[in-house]
Amino acid sequence: MASSIQHPQLSYRMTTIFSIPQETLIEPAIRGTVNVLKSCSKATTVKRIVLTSSCSSIRYSDDVSKASPLDESHWSDPEYCKRYNLWYAYAKTLAEQEAWQLAREWGIDLVVVNPSFVVGPLIAPQPTSSLRMVLGIIKGAIGEYPNTTVGFVHIDDVVAAHLLAMEESKASGRIICSSSVAHWSEIIEILRPKYPSYPFETKCGSQKGDDNPHSMDTRKINQLGLSSFKTLPEMFDDCIKSFQEKGLL
């Protein structure tokens, strides 16, 4: 069986994420998803499409703390995202909803992996947007750390989740891929004693709407075969070691 894995990449600068116009983030996310699904629907050899979405399409709503643990049935509220200028989450939510609508209309076997904030060793020559933010926090180079409570997940676990989604016949629907949930202040508290030579950010940002306590239900992916996730220390240790090896720290 031939399968397709696609991830509509959203390019943006972390420093301007809350003022990104619609044409540079929202429309490309939706249009990219639609274009790939349309192409795959015409290919007779493609039996399943595995789409990379995000836990950002799950965890944003007024009742997120009360509704936790959040599972695959939960969706981010687009109005909530707009209220707090959470445009990345807004774009990911609309793009995934459009993907599911098209999958129903076109009879596509679609499986969606929803990772949380991905951390781990740097694979590409340059850090991704997420890892650039991690690097900036470690180096104390951006002025503050995000006022964000979010799930984190090791890149190795994300890869394993995609392989399960592609190869496991009983995989279906959405699949949450997330390890521990923490506020960025907790991450810094874990790392600072282990890496005392680095000037971690000390000031918390003022962004609202992204700091709601919550938890993620990962029973579905556990039952598919990913029984445990790498821990926060493991994923950030791998990340920092990679930064050091590449001369970024």
List active site positions.
92
pTM for the structure as a whole = 0.89
CA distance 241 to 219: 31
Task: Tell whether the model's pLDDT for residue 11 goes beyond 80.
Answer: no
Enumerate the domain spans of the chain: 2-245
CA distances from 145 to 28, 94, 187, 239 (A): 28, 27, 10, 17
Round to whole Å and give the CA distance between 76 and 59.
5
H helices of 77-218, in order, are 78-83, 87-106, 129-139, 155-167, 184-191
What is the predicted pLDDT for the residue at 27? 81
42-48-50 Cα angle (round to 5): 110
Q: What is the mean pLDDT of the chain?
A: 89
Per-residue pLDDT band for 220 (boundaries 50, 70, 90) equals very high
Q: Which CATH architecture has domain 2-245?
A: 3-Layer(aba) Sandwich (3.40)
pLDDT in tens, 87-134: 989 999 999 999 999 999 999 999 999 999 999 999 888 888 899 999
pLDDT at 22: 58
